Amino acid sequence: MADARGSGYALGWFIGVHNGQPLVEHGGSWQGFKAWIGRFPGQRMSVIALGNLAGSDPGVVGRGVAEILAPGLAAR
């Protein structure tokens, strides 16, 4: 899924696919803190993950939580 220009970026949100399901997401960091928000429109679910450990990736954690909450998102 992408915007009209096909860039996969829409007003600050990245539009993509996670294991075949649409995903709208955004992440960022500032002074050692990291954040990620993902919206899974097919499951009517949003997940927010925060982190402050060096090397942590809230996006990976958030997608993992989403797969637990909506098993249809898990890799097949």
Amino acid found at 22: P
Domains in the chain: boundaries = 9-73
Match 């995903």 to its residue by tokens. 23
pLDDT on residue 54: 85
Q: What are the tens digits of pLDDT across the range 12-38? A: 899 999 999 999 999 999 998 999 999
Q: What pTM did the predictor assign?
A: 0.82
Give the rounded distance of the alpha carbon of 18 from its chain centre: 8
pLDDT on residue 55: 86
Using H for helix, E for strand and C for coil, what is the string for the chain?
Answer: CCCCCCCCEECCEEEEEECCEEEEEEEEEECCEEEEEEEEHHHCEEEEEEECCCCCCHHHHHHHHHHHHCHHHCCC
Q: What are the tens digits of pLDDT across the range 58-76? A: 999 999 999 999 998 988 7
